[in-house]
Structure 1
């Protein structure tokens, strides 16, 4: 009995912990329902999805939102989105609802839909930018008319069992909670109105729930050592080892080989790490008062372009970034007293798109950092990052004992080993004598 309770406690505790991101402790996606008017059999609500995550966005094919109605509600109309299934609406003789399912699933509309189907902040194919990258593009909205529902604050029953795919698994949504009504300003900003009723749903992300293995890895190199520290072998799992394709394979010339699949199955280039993405950190130059790093991101997936990608790095010297040459950069300071984390992302219309695997499947930049003479050193791997995230997913780092070392350290180590071997040989000869 005690063992069962302990296992249950551990499972609950783990599920809480994995949804917490120490580099973005307040990051979440908040879904807000604002009831704007009552109808004869229900209400009209504006649903707003805000991505408050600093560096994790939702890329194509976009978000999918689901829930379960508390009673026998139906959706009469949707503007700015659509449900994926209509369900059984055979009992309706006149007007037929847009959806009669007990558990509807809603997706965003694609760009370019007719104007009468659009709503503010809609029709982006479900793509949501990260809050830290582009706050204006981190919002999605649609309007829904609900029937066979309550017609007052006391009779409305909140939907339950919310689910969010973004676009794959990983998000866990809490229950809907009634909050103070949202205030709105008229276009002339002289009059304030408010919703009739408002409730929020908060969804948090867990990489543990999203996938079994990491989706990226990190390699290191430096100017002071010819050795390149590669990504760990099978860093992202080797399940696709038999399905990968070599970079010089003739299959790459087959028409349609790069076309994305409905199940989003990757087509990876054969590597020892089998990761879709590799981040390389190269310590390039050591000046008197500054030092320079080169960052390169390589895509090994032949079926996926990464739009609006983000790279988050944790390193103590990021508090003195002097210049970033080919990426945009933004410091992340979740704890005001510690400034050791920053987000790199592509410049719009220049390198914000990481192309599929191949000759164009990489982006790179250099970073100039000012030295802090009290902390800067090239010893013991200090010049390499502590954590690396790509598109919000933590990447696997090489083991610390494999980092490029200073030549002086190597000579000292070799001298110590030589002295030790010589001493042992001498001792053995003395004993034999």
Structure 2
């Protein structure tokens, strides 16, 4: 037991000795030093990691080098009435977004978007956008439409705006109704109607997005100032809308109508437009409205807004007032007249005849209505301008540089507060002519008459006649007879000339109020002469009448007219028919073409003389006018003209002719003779 204890003690001593030995086999020093904890090694900073930029999303369509247009249908939802049995007639409400972006170099002035709808769409609302033709919403656009801004919108380019999308891009929402298409009703095509821009075919992307790019005509960079004005335009009729004075709730507008056409004349003009923010007219000078519309004033927005002015005395609260000129005796009236160019009974002459008589003007006091009525600078001109009963088509108002007016009280000129311009041009669909032309020649016994129904035919003519048969030749004795009294003369002349091809019933008359006969009187080596006779078969007297004769082959040889005043026309504003026309007016005492009395026409005539020194190679056709205008309206021309041989050349149809008349049918008439 004692031995075990000794062994145990020795073991403990040995362990203690081992534990006090250093790692290197040395014992601890007498004064051991306790070391501080080791410092962790410093890690060098990592170099910044550069990641490759994420690739841009692939464009949905190719980049555009002009104006980019996107049409997106957002939704379509079924509305009443529910037509489960006829789903193709089911109406749906739709909303679509249209975005137009100028991605080119040039500023786009007066832009307009054409949309070819195909689902019988009716546009109910398009905030900030109007129809170019002026129709008010809701409106049927099933045959397509053109949308624009009033006043004319401007899309600046990104270069001059440093990419400011508020000036480069325009977006708007179209709300409306379509029929029969449950999902994604889309148009056939979209485009911009800007002149010179060439639009690609509009393509669908997915089911609800259509895109097109309209390439610009050039890459000229446009730089504009802060107050950008559109350049003035030329047209047949120009309307200038000058705001001469502005107040918080109203403004004074001076409207000038200018006839810039070289030949068009307007009689009894009437002009209308559509207010964009329910404005109304309290007073006018130089013109008046056709109706007072006071009931509209009292019961409409104006009556609910204003107690002064008195709604019982305002002139018009119609959203589309019709304005007419005042008679000449009102010019010196201090209440409604005393405006330069006013009070001409609605007559606008061509500027080529009399520049001072080519303008009309009037002044109107316009009141605005809330919510923008108190903002002095907020003035929106009226849109949908119309003049002369649809004969002219007018564009949208364009903001141009303010008009400057001479001020009699100061040495400097006074400019308008704001100015807009509207241009109107004659439409291709012209109304039926009101005049017609017949030809004759001293070598031929027959007159080539006015065409059948040259100025239109009544629905049920009495006596019965054939509106499609060619007009029959006339003897000279019939030209002064009323057209309704020529039947015996026509039949007798056909019998004398052994003409057996007489239509039954006979051809209808021309039904023209004014007829013009051009008769070649003589033709000799050095020159020739003709006589023009005007017949007025209507009950209208034409004061200060004028005609225009287009005579390409004989123009250079024209010398003079003896009873009329005739001058060679010059090109004006690049809109003259050509530079081969002669303007004819009546001299004093012959400037009134009197109305018919007792079925006898009012008549005027004059001889014209021509020389051949400058026109030695005249053709038979050159002795007759190619076109004739009376008071600015083009007359219906006859089917042919008489030849020196006694024959008559036609434009592809035959008259009822006898022995003296040859049947010569030539398709390219003017190139051969």
Same fold (TM over 0.5): yes
User: Are 2:494 and 1:275 equivalent residues in the alignment?
Assistant: no
In 1, are the aligned partners of 2:444 and 2:646 still within 8 Å (CA)? no
Sort the Cα spacing of 1:383 and 1:33 in 2 relative to 1 into closer, same or farther, 3 A. same
Could you tell me which residue of structure 2 aligns to residue 284 of structure 1?
521
User: Are 2:651 and 1:387 equivalent residues in the alignment?
Assistant: no
Classify the secondary structure of the residue corresponding to 1:89.
helix
In 2, are the aligned partners of 1:43 and 1:151 still within 8 Å (CA)? no
Could you tell me which residue of structure 2 aligns to residue 355 of structure 1?
594
Classify the secondary structure of the residue corresponding to 1:381.
helix
| Structure of greater relative contact order (alpha carbons < 8 Å, 6+ residues apart) | 1
Could you tell me which residue of structure 2 aligns to residue 135 of structure 1?
355
Q: Distance in 2 between matches of 1:38 and 1:204?
A: 31
- 1:220 maps to which of 426, 439, 445: 439
Could you tell me which residue of structure 2 aligns to residue 21 of structure 1?
none
Classify the secondary structure of the residue corresponding to 2:555.
helix
In 2, are the aligned partners of 1:241 and 1:274 still within 8 Å (CA)? no
User: Are 2:269 and 1:63 equivalent residues in the alignment?
Assistant: yes
In 1, are the aligned partners of 2:548 and 2:628 still within 8 Å (CA)? yes
In 2, are the aligned partners of 1:332 and 1:343 still within 8 Å (CA)? yes
| Larger Rg over CA atoms | 2
Mind listing any 5+ residue stretches in structure 2 that lack a counterpart?
A: 1-115, 119-142, 146-232, 464-480, 485-506, 649-658, 663-673
Q: Distance in 2 between matches of 1:387 and 1:142?
A: 35
Q: Distance in 2 between matches of 1:337 and 1:101?
A: 39
Q: Distance in 2 between matches of 1:305 and 1:236?
A: 18
CA deviation profile, 1:1-42 (whole Å, cap 9, x unmatched): x9x9xx989xxxxxxxxxxxxxxx965111101111112312
Classify the secondary structure of the residue corresponding to 1:115.
coil
User: Are 2:334 and 1:93 equivalent residues in the alignment?
Assistant: no
Q: Distance in 1 between matches of 2:459 and 2:359?
A: 35
Q: Let me know the Cα RMSD of the aligned residues.
A: 3.3
In the TM superposition, residue 337 of structure 1 has moved relative to its aligned partner by 13
Could you tell me which residue of structure 1 aligns to residue 451 of structure 2?
232
Q: Distance in 2 between matches of 1:151 and 1:280?
A: 62
Sort the Cα spacing of 1:43 and 1:221 in 2 relative to 1 into closer, same or farther, 3 A. same
Q: Distance in 2 between matches of 1:238 and 1:308?
A: 28
In the TM superposition, residue 329 of structure 1 has moved relative to its aligned partner by 2.1
Mind listing any 5+ residue stretches in structure 1 that lack a counterpart?
A: 10-24, 250-269, 418-433
In 1, are the aligned partners of 2:244 and 2:254 still within 8 Å (CA)? yes
In 1, are the aligned partners of 2:281 and 2:317 still within 8 Å (CA)? yes
Classify the secondary structure of the residue corresponding to 2:263.
coil
Could you tell me which residue of structure 2 aligns to residue 72 of structure 1?
278
In the TM superposition, residue 158 of structure 1 has moved relative to its aligned partner by 1.9
Could you tell me which residue of structure 2 aligns to residue 163 of structure 1?
386
Higher helix share: 1
User: Are 2:533 and 1:305 equivalent residues in the alignment?
Assistant: no
Sort the Cα spacing of 1:326 and 1:189 in 2 relative to 1 into closer, same or farther, 3 A. farther
Sort the Cα spacing of 1:189 and 1:163 in 2 relative to 1 into closer, same or farther, 3 A. same
In 2, are the aligned partners of 1:26 and 1:53 still within 8 Å (CA)? no
Q: How many residues align?
A: 362
Q: Distance in 1 between matches of 2:393 and 2:375?
A: 29
Q: Distance in 1 between matches of 2:602 and 2:508?
A: 15
Could you tell me which residue of structure 1 aligns to residue 60 of structure 2?
none
Could you tell me which residue of structure 1 aligns to residue 401 of structure 2?
180
Q: Taking structure 1 as the reference length, what is the TM-score of the superposition?
A: 0.75
